[in-house]
A and B are shown apart, each in its own frame.
Chain A
């Protein structure tokens, strides 16, 4: 069996070489206090953290190319990092070495109104894209929930999904072209400002979702849509979770209307979030909530859409429906959905955030199984997420009275059972957070050895020395 040749450490000479490439100001070395910030993403706890030996903050593709050539020559691992807001450890330098942060590459290079496309650098904050497009009547439809912090580069690397995927799909749908720096330090352009393009393999889509293992994205060409000018939300309270989930696939087929997002929250999530927020919605007798968003070119159309869907769910045993059609009310009802995580952080810090995805019609069965399994082990498992696209964010929460040891021993058993059921329903390990190193060991339960071999062939072809973000998704050897 092949073995990974040993990586080298970042010596003072190499740190100097990095400084010669990117400028002394933009290299952090021998400075644990400042390096620490680059040792983690947003997974709670410290288990998945790892310190880098050096951090470089380049400004151009050329600088990155030189760093990669140096790293290949010296056999030093390089991990790309955006905002560090990921949830799979994708940007964590698990083998040490160099972190290349793209935070300085944060320019919006072009807004091409005629083609309805834009070109950006990877370090642009995703939220800023839409802030800046507003005045042109355009918008970018990728929408991870962490949009105020995350970078567009990270969104592309993880193929971020988020709440609006029901109507708009995920990030990959909007990436038309990339300028990349390959793991061996070549600068290559993929795709372009083209809606159709079959000139060679679709390497753009190979790069989207590659979790920083196949290349740096130094320019990103995004497809834009006309900005929806109006938005409204419905919050439906249901007696049981089954009722709420069973209606989800029927909403679209029954009304012919595709909501922008269909989010669900089970009883535990609702209770925790409402208690945390002192929210007075009468949720005591409600077993689940559905949060539906509608958007469109004007309020008349949005009103027409939500009225039809509202009438449809009224016929299917909803307890109450609330309507938000202005920023104040919208904020109040979305707050419930967004604060579930925060609410559970107060209850217990022993948590594992899951990102399961099943065919949308199987979501009801998946949640029943989740409740069954977690109930058996006596842990809490609030379920919430994107009901419209089958993506469930189950948060496994260990009882506060458990010891750390018990939690560490029991969690893998629970996860194995959950993943087994997910696979049985035709589902996958991660819908939008990625594998990183957090979920790597569970890959085999979902994909075949032949599939993993294909991934290896691609990775080895592009990165023969396994320099770029090693230790992620699958084992190189």
Chain B
């Protein structure tokens, strides 16, 4: 069985700062890591591999340095990696990205299961998994928190939904996106690092994938970012002195009035 895991390289969120002028993320000097939520997809794939004889390929679309994210995945135990990279791909939104990823998966061929993280911590949309499934014409199950069994080409899973859990069966090939509850990701090992260092990671570019230029990059992206802003937090602090009885009384009354105004309901 062949499994594909799609991963994204993102800036390390703890050190991310916003440029107050341009209102965009300052990427300079920020270290790049595997999207933390994609680590769960890698872990899910590795656990499946332990129960069946699977070959896992990690895929990532991004600039040439995204190869480091793929190497990290290999150091965790993934078998192979493919980078999808071309200048023409830059500026792609989730729609165009899904289209390119789907083309790469088709090109590589033969995957029975495609695993994705819930969403990326930078864009935070959670759209690429389902959109890629649509582009591939495959069924998709999102928010998978447990894989029960894989038998005769059918994956039995549960997914977290608001207020409960759904148990579903997915006839492969198909796409799933997983949540944290799937299992704590393992750490990259020293042996894995050495293997990753030697591994030749092929690059799929525009020429190889033969894509319609109208459907990729900025031209192929229907998303328009109209405005980015930081929500302002306004706190109106009132300090009441309660040193004398009169002051205490006045403070209590003022607080009651405030609570009535703000419609604070008694518990």
Contact = CB atoms under 8 A, between A and B. Distances in A.
A475 interface: no
A141 to B, nearest CB: 21
B190 A234 contact: yes
Interface in B22-48: 31-33, 36
Contacts of B33: 326-328
B207 interface: no
A281 interface: yes
Contacts of A333: 187
A34 B187 CA distance: 46
A327 B12 contact: yes
Interface string B71-82: 010010000000
A320 B189 contact: yes
Interface string B153-194: 000000000000000000000000000000110111111111
A89 B33 CA distance: 42
B51 interface: no
Contact of B12 (A235, A303, A310, A326): A326
Interface in A274-332: 278-281, 303, 307, 310, 314, 320-324, 326-329, 332
Interface in A324-360: 324, 326-329, 332-333
Contacts of A280: 183-184, 186
A300 B16 CA distance: 25
Contacts of A322: 187-190
Nearest to A321: B190
Contact of B190 (A278, A279, A281, A314): A314
A160 B189 CA distance: 33
B188 A323 contact: yes
Interface residue range, chain A: 20 to 34
Contact of A323 (B36, B183, B184, B189): B189
Nearest to B183: A280
A249 to B, nearest CB: 21
A235 B187 CA distance: 10
Interface string B190-207: 111110010000000000
A123 to B, nearest CB: 27
Contacts of A307: 193-194
A303 B75 CA distance: 14
B123 to A, nearest CB: 18
Contacts of A234: 190
A157 to B, nearest CB: 32
A327 B194 contact: no
B15 interface: yes
B12 A328 contact: yes
B14 interface: yes
21 contacts: A235-B187, A280-B184, A280-B186, A281-B187, A310-B190, A320-B190, A321-B190, A321-B191, A322-B187, A322-B188, A322-B189, A323-B187, A323-B189, A323-B192, A323-B193, A324-B188, A326-B12, A327-B12, A327-B33, A328-B12, A328-B36
- 8 nearest A-B pairs in the assembled complex, by CB-CB distance: A321-B190, A322-B187, A280-B184, A310-B190, A326-B33, A323-B193, A328-B33, A327-B12
Given A320-B190, A323-B75, A328-B36, 4 more contacts: A280-B186, A322-B189, A327-B12, A327-B33
